Structure 1
Amino acid sequence: MKTAHDLVAEAKSCTQEIALKDAEQAIRQADVLIDVREADEFAAGHLAGAVLIPRGLLEFKLSAMPALASRDIQVVLYCKTSGRAALAAQTMQAMGYLNVQSIAGGFDAWMAEGKPVVKPEQPSFD
């Protein structure tokens, strides 16, 4: 029986993972940057310009969003540490997307390098 780790390793072997040092350039060249984490993770901080599409909803959201219908758009994905992003990249490839990359190390690696993060300000009810 395969474990989650096995599935992630398999996904990483057949998808393109970009090194953190190349991530900013890849994001600039991408048509869309997708955060596949959950809504609470996104709300706590995310990469500027990222669109939230949780991995569990990915196939449904991609099918329902006309802006993401073209299979030749440039896509960069990320999650917390890169596992969910690799699985999402594999899914997108199975759906026919041709140019999908994920960020090695994910959001945690991005933060560890001190790269900029958007942290929405929460309203104060004082």
Structure 2
Amino acid sequence: MKTAHDLVLAAKSQCREVPIENAQALVQSADVVIDVREADEYATGHLAGAINIPRGLLEFKLSGTPALEPRDLNVVLYCKTSGRAALAAVAMQGMGYLHVVSIAGGIEAWVQAGMPVVKPVQPLFE
């Protein structure tokens, strides 16, 4: 029986992962950057301009959002450490997306490399 780890390793062998040192340039030139973490994770900090589509909703959101339907979009995916992003990349490739990359190491590697993260400010209610 396969484990989640087995599935992630298989996905990583089937998708393109970009090393963190090349990630910023790809993020800047991407048509769309998708954070596949859960909404509460996204709210703690995310890449500037990234949209949040949790991994469990990805195929449905891609199919139901006209701006995300073109299969030739340049897409960069990331999650916490890159497992969910690799699974998402393989799913998108299976849907016919042609230019999908995952950031190796995810947002943890991004932050460790000192790259910028957007952290939403919560309003104070007194």
TM-score when normalising by structure 1 = 0.98
**CA–CA distance in 2 between the matches of 1:13 and 1:61?**
25
Q: Give the Å deviation of 1:86.
A: 0.1
Matched residue SS, 1:96? coil
Matched residue SS, 1:101? strand
**CA–CA distance in 2 between the matches of 1:60 and 1:32?**
16
Count matched residues.
126
Deviation digits for residues 16-36 of structure 1 (CA, Å, limit 9, x no counterpart)? 000000001111121000000
Q: Which residue of 2 aligns with 1:61?
A: 61
Q: Which residue of 1 aligns with 2:92?
A: 92
Give the unaligned 5+ runs of structure 2.
none
Q: Which residue of 1 aligns with 2:41?
A: 41
Q: Which amino acid aligns with 1:70?
A: P
Q: Which residue of 2 aligns with 1:73?
A: 73
RMSD between superposed Cα atoms in Å: 0.5
Q: Which amino acid aligns with 2:70?
A: S
Q: Which residue of 2 aligns with 1:124?
A: 124
Q: Give the Å deviation of 1:9.
A: 0.3
**CA–CA distance in 1 between the matches of 2:22 and 2:111?**
15
Q: Give the Å deviation of 1:73.
A: 0.7
Q: Which residue of 2 aligns with 1:110?
A: 110
Give the unaligned 5+ runs of structure 1.
none
Please identify runs of 4+ aligned residues in structure 1 that moved more than 2 A.
none
Q: Give the Å deviation of 1:112.
A: 1.0
Matched residue SS, 2:109? helix
Matches within 5 A, 1:1-20: 1-20=1-20
